[in-house]
């Protein structure tokens, strides 16, 4: 439909209009399917730039800046560092806690040695060396676990003994660790012992 002084008017057919609407709808649906599942995550994890507090230096990275290391800058600003080594100096010394179960870890001079042998956890293998240890009342015994598994040295003939652990118990001794047995409160006599982890491991303590 035209007039002598007008340009032709392009009309869209219903089919093309339908296709256009479908394309827009599909695009919106795909975008929604991508954004909606992550919407809560996006809300709770705001970009780093929106969570930075003004006036504080950035997190320590150990990189050098034009005015010195950022560790130095954090120190000047009164912000604690993590103790990691950096250009400004060595890391602060830290102390690791003792292994779990070694509350009787050896402190000071070692006592009379009692060794849990490598392979002791295999039933029928030699386990304690010596299997009968003789000491004087008050002597300290230092138990060393040379096996790859944890063990204990516990007084008694086994788990069913109602008096087990009443005289002494090293608790768990991890592989490569040591523990002490104090005989100060033990009267002269014989005290069988075993491992609570592997009850077939047995030995005897003789106090004179």
Residues 160 and 137: their CA atoms lie apart, in Å, by: 27
Q: What pLDDT does residue 28 have? A: 86
Percent of the chain scored above 90 by pLDDT?
47
pLDDT at 158 over 80: yes
Which of the four CATH numbers 2.60.40.420, 3.30.830.10, 3.10.129.10, 3.30.565.10 does domain 112-207 have? 2.60.40.420
Q: What pLDDT does residue 186 have? A: 96
What's the whole-number average pLDDT of the chain?
76
Nearest to 172 by CA among 143, 132, 207, 192: 143
Q: What is the mean pLDDT of residues 164-193?
A: 96
Percent of the chain scored above 70 by pLDDT?
60
Q: What pLDDT does residue 168 have? A: 96
Contact by Cβ (8 Å): 113, 187: no
Q: What pLDDT does residue 25 have? A: 86
Contact by Cβ (8 Å): 136, 187: no
**CA torsion through residues 107, 173, 199, 164, sign:** positive
Residue pointed to by tokens 């035209």: 2
Q: Between 46 and 65, where is the model more confident?
A: 46
Strand (E) or helix (H) holding 112: strand 112-116
Q: Between 171 and 103, where is the model more confident?
A: 171
pLDDT at 124 over 80: yes
Per-residue b or e along 107-144, where b marks 16 or more CB atoms closer than 10 Å to that residue's CB: eeeebbebbbbeebbeeeeebbeeeebebeeebbbbbb
Q: Between 63 and 140, where is the model more confident?
A: 140
pLDDT at 51 over 80: no
């Amino acid at each position: 439909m035209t007039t002598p002084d007008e340009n032709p008017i392009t009309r869209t057919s219903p089919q093309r209009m339908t296709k256009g609407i479908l394309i827009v709808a599909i695009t919106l649906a795909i975008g929604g399917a991508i954004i909606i599942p992550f919407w809560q995550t996006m809300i709770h994890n705001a970009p780093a730039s929106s969570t930075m507090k003004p006036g504080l230096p950035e997190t320590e990275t150990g990189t050098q800046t034009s005015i010195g290391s950022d560790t130095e800058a954090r120190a000047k600003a009164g912000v604690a560092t993590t103790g990691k080594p950096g250009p400004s100096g060595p890391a602060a010394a830290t102390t690791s806690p003792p292994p779990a179960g070694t509350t009787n870890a050896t402190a000071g001079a070692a006592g009379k040695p009692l060794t849990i042998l490598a392979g002791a956890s295999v039933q029928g293998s030699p386990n304690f060396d010596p299997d009968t240890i003789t000491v004087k009342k008050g002597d300290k015994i230092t138990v060393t676990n040379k096996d790859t598994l944890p063990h204990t040295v516990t007084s008694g003939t086994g788990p069913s003994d109602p008096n087990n652990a009443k005289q002494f118990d090293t608790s768990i001794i991890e592989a490569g660790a040591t523990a002490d047995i104090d005989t100060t409160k033990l009267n002269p006599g014989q005290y069988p012992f075993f491992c609570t982890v592997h009850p077939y491991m047995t030995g005897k303590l003789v106090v004179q």
